[in-house]
Amino acid sequence: MDTEVIICFEVHAELGTQTKLFCGCRNAPGAAPNSHICPVCTGQPGALPVLNRRAVEYCVKAGLAFNCDINTEARFARKNYFYPDLPKGYQISQYERPFCENGFLEIEGDDGRPYSVGIRRIHLEEDAGKLVHSSEAFDEADYSLVDFNRASVPLIEIVGDHTRNPLRSIREARAYLEKMRQVLRYIGVSECNMEQGQFRCDVNVSIRPQGSAEYGNRSEIKNMASFRFVTEALEYEIDRQSELLRSGKPVIQETRLFDEERRVTLPMRSKEDAPDYRYFPDPDLVQIDLDRETIEAIRKTMPELPDDRLARMVRDVGIPREEAAILTRDRKTSDFFDRCASTCSDTSRLSRWIIKDLFRVLNRDGLTLESCPVRPEDFSGLVDLISQGAVTDQTARTVLDEMVRSGKAPQEILGEKDLGIIGDAQTLEQTVDGVTGEHPEVAAKIRQGRMEAVNFLVGQVMRKTSGRADAGKVRDIILRRLAVPEGREDGE
Ligand code: ZN
Ligand code: MN
């Protein structure tokens, strides 16, 4: 039986606001337990929430980035459930009127074409605290402690739409999550650090016979914070459901957990699986009216999104698509490229030098573009020196090493270290003669017209000059000194 897979995500992203969603406590991931709490975020009787304006802006920004309609009237609702990390006994979330609805995120589909994956809504809500289980923190103790620093940190929940271009494979699922994280980072609303749980997701997956109009029963796998776990959970779940379908057994609609050790999904206890949240409008928070001007003002603060940036680089700057994709993967890199490009006369070389050489040095030294002291104008200056023939590639790499170490400008380093290119004919001729004398057998081959041997001698000259010789000139000199007739250079 041919089947099709339907995958749909609910993604939670923690917003990078200074303070929490309903109080003035700092949003400080990684701080000492319970060092950023107050009566509001610990749910003390009588404490009242005050909405964080910045969090609303960030939610709207996400809505604009994912092509949503922005509702001019929005409400908060109470989602009631009991858990020890939830001091109020309810989570303030949005139900009937979220800030953003009816969006999409474009990815590259499995057929290689653009595919706009439906997003049903994006709403703003508060995070819960965090339980620290004794087995993780304290030897043999049989209790858990709770840290309320995360309680009431703002989250956006981005809910997919399985009825509008759902994801059809694990590859598309992964492309969707990666693109979503990239965009959220670009627009500066969340760092999406997955190890810290700032970007986590629930995934719904179902299978149906190819061409069927009805959806199969879905399972929902809860709370994953790594792309690898999502992939493994989906692989397992697709196999499991396919097997059930093949053998004519029903797939039960249920919530499952991914067991990271055994790499299987397991059903949750049925009580946990059928929550009745008894949503109702939060009486402590008024309706939020967002006027058109406010939404337009937020729209004006939107940066160029990665897809637009990639297209511009290919179209206006002439960068090959694969290179542009690397340069636009994160905003720091694409900003760095743009700033270099504004003063560089050879953007093709610039692109290659960032991707190959700068990234190599940063990787080797454990640096990032931010922690590396190289200024964009100095980097483009170095690339221009190569283009002008003032330094060889090899020398430029030596200069780059020194730029990364000291933050100095390339001209300064060249002046100090005497690294400029050797173009002086007399010096080059002497070096060529020396090398030819050391390798008479190679010289003989060249005289016989075996031109592949020329490269060997050029290499020897480069070694003797620490890569500072102009390779083209060296080649000419070798040919001239060994009296190779014109026209033999192509090596017939
Ligand atoms: Zn607080
Ligand atoms: Mn949620």
Task: Check: CB of residue 50 under 8 Å from CB of residue 282.
Answer: no
The predicted-structure confidence for 3-33, as pLDDT tens digits, reads as follows 999 999 999 999 999 999 999 999 999 899 9
Distance 82 CA to ligand 2 centre (A): 15
Q: What is the pLDDT along the chain (492 residues), one digit of tens a residue?
A: 789 999 999 999 999 999 999 999 999 998 999 999 999 999 999 999 999 999 999 999 999 999 999 999 999 999 999 999 999 999 999 999 999 999 999 999 999 999 999 999 999 999 999 998 876 666 666 788 999 999 999 999 999 999 999 999 999 999 999 999 999 999 999 999 999 999 999 999 999 999 888 999 999 999 999 999 999 999 999 999 999 999 999 999 999 999 989 999 999 866 555 578 999 999 999 999 999 999 999 999 999 999 999 999 999 999 999 999 999 999 999 999 999 999 999 999 999 999 999 999 999 999 999 999 999 999 999 999 999 878 889 889 999 999 999 999 998 888 887 777 777 888 889 999 999 999 999 999 988 888 888 888 988 888 888 777 877 888 889 988 887 765 555 543
Q: If DSSP states are collapsed to H, E and C, what string results for 242-255? A: HHHHHCCCCCCCEE
Distance 283 CA to ligand 1 centre (A): 19
Measured from the alpha carbon of residue 124, the closest ligand is 2
pTM: 0.84
Measured from the alpha carbon of residue 10, the closest ligand is 2
State phi, psi for 140 to the nearest 5 degrees: 65, -5
Distance 164 CA to ligand 2 centre (A): 21
Distance 26 CA to ligand 1 centre (A): 8
How do beta strands 144-147 and 114-126 pair?
Answer: unpaired
Measured from the alpha carbon of residue 47, the closest ligand is 1
Residue 438 and residue 440: Cα distance in Å, rounded? 6
Distance 150 CA to ligand 1 centre (A): 10
Distance 12 CA to ligand 2 centre (A): 7
Distance 21 CA to ligand 1 centre (A): 9
Measured from the alpha carbon of residue 157, the closest ligand is 2
Distance 106 CA to ligand 2 centre (A): 23
Residue 378 and residue 403: Cα distance in Å, rounded? 9
The CB-based long-range contact list for 357-364 (8 Å cut-off, 24+ gap) reads 357/396, 357/397, 357/400, 358/400, 361/400, 361/401, 361/404, 362/404
Distance 87 CA to ligand 1 centre (A): 12
The predicted-structure confidence for 366-418, as pLDDT tens digits, reads as follows 999 999 999 999 999 999 999 987 888 988 999 999 999 999 999 888 888 77
Residue 314 and residue 334: Cα distance in Å, rounded? 13
Q: How many CA atoms lie within 13 A of 355 on its CB side?
A: 16
Residue 125 and residue 90: Cα distance in Å, rounded? 11
Measured from the alpha carbon of residue 125, the closest ligand is 2
State phi, psi for 341 to the nearest 5 degrees: -60, -30
Distance 201 CA to ligand 2 centre (A): 10
Distance 447 CA to ligand 2 centre (A): 78
